[in-house]
């Protein structure tokens, strides 16, 4: 491929599965690396001389360097120039990311300050009742209610809606994002393209979770979504946290002092692979670890809780 711009774009596409349509040399670009609206986790910069560039994904923690020529054939001066440009781009990338994280932190603090504790009859408790948790009280303290959360679809505001809001908390205790479930006043999911959305992050999401419960006697459970984790807890009595998604489940950092981990995996390819990755990490750390998966494809732990009730887990409270 003779065109260096297209060659650079092809390298990005091969590594990340997504790439910007247009790449301007010398400019730092942001772009989506998933099909989610508003995603701009990808970044890239093609150097002015068209001989090299850098790209990666903030969400996945990927950072790669691209060269238009075989690096083994570069002269000493060319290698030095490439190293200098990569270092400059890395500094620019970090500066932009720190600025974005700081802006997101201000937005998150404001949003969280507007949230209210749950009370019976509010849209959040009505929603959770519809999901099968009507007899559960008190509900996890980290779940909050926002009266009127704006919903943006790209640059278009589709309205304001009640929302269930929960913090995504890093291992060091910092809130790195807020998870929002957009609702109707009578406790149904709002009729918007993606009723569940994450705010912009204030730092890396890897290792974080929604702390619905605390470990009990050295035991903690982990599942992907909020409702899935609550259903697993109700069905098993194992205190369970929510990882938000399969990728975060695989990278999740369990609390200090945990001796046994119970993974409530989704019955799909991504869920099983994430559970296997986390289990391998737990076993390597000498934790006792169990992976539980619904036996029927397409069935989640909310279905298990609704259809079967209590689930016996050997030594769950031990």
Q: Which residues pair with 198 in a beta bridge?
A: 179
- Pairing of β 260-264 and β 288-292: parallel
Mean pLDDT of 1-10: 88
Q: What is the pTM of this model?
A: 0.80
Structure tokens at 257: 């002092």
Structural domains of the chain ordered from first start: 4-109 (no CATH), 118-204 (no CATH), 206-318 (3.40.1360.10)
Q: Which residue in 64, 58, 60, 59 sits closest to 94, CA to CA?
A: 58
Query: Model confidence over 31-61: pLDDT tens digits?
Result: 999 877 677 889 999 999 999 999 999 877 7
Nearest partner of 177 among 270, 107, 253, 268, judged by Cα? 107
The three state secondary structure string of 112-150 is HHCCEECCCCCHHHHHHHHHHHCCCCCCCCCCEEEEEEE
Burial of 298 (C-beta count, 10 Å sphere; 0-12/13-18/19+): exposed
201-260, pLDDT tens digit by residue?
A: 998 888 999 999 999 999 999 999 999 999 999 988 999 999 999 989 999 999 999 999
pLDDT at 151 over 70: yes
């Amino acid at each position: 491929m003779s065109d260096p711009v297209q060659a650079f774009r092809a390298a990005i596409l091969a590594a990340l599965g997504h790439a910007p349509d247009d790449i301007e040399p010398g400019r730092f670009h942001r772009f989506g690396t998933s099909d989610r609206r508003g995603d701009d986790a990808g970044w890239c910069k093609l150097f002015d001389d068209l001989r090299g560039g850098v790209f990666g994904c903030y969400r996945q923690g990927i950072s790669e360097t691209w060269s238009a020529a075989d690096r083994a054939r570069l002269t000493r001066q060319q290698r030095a120039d490439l190293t200098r440009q990569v270092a400059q781009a890395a500094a620019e990338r970090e500066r932009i990311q720190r600025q974005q994280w700081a802006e997101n932190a201000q937005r998150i603090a404001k949003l969280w300050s507007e949230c209210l504790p749950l009370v019976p009859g509010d849209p959040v408790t009505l929603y959770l009742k519809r999901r099968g948790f009507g007899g559960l009280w008190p509900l996890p303290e980290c779940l909050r209610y926002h009266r009127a959360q704006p919903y943006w679809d790209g640059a278009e505001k589709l309205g304001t809606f009640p929302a269930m809001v929960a913090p995504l908390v890093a291992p060091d205790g910092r809130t790195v994002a807020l998870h929002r479930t957009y609702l109707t006043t009578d406790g149904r999911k709002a009729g918007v393209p993606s009723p569940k959305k994450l705010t912009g992050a204030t730092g890396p999401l890897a290792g974080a979770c929604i702390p619905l419960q605390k470990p009990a006697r050295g035991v903690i459970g982990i599942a992907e979504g909020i409702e899935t984790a609550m259903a697993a807890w109700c069905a098993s009595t194992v205190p369970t946290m929510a990882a938000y998604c399969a990728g975060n489940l695989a990278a999740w950092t369990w609390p200090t002092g945990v001796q046994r981990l119970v993974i409530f995996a989704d019955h799909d390819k991504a869920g099983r692979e994430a559970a296997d990755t986390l289990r391998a990490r737990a076993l390597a750390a000498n934790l006792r670890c169990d992976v539980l998966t619904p036996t029927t494809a397409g069935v989640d732990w909310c279905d298990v809780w609704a259809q079967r009730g209590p689930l016996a887990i050997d030594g769950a409270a031990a």
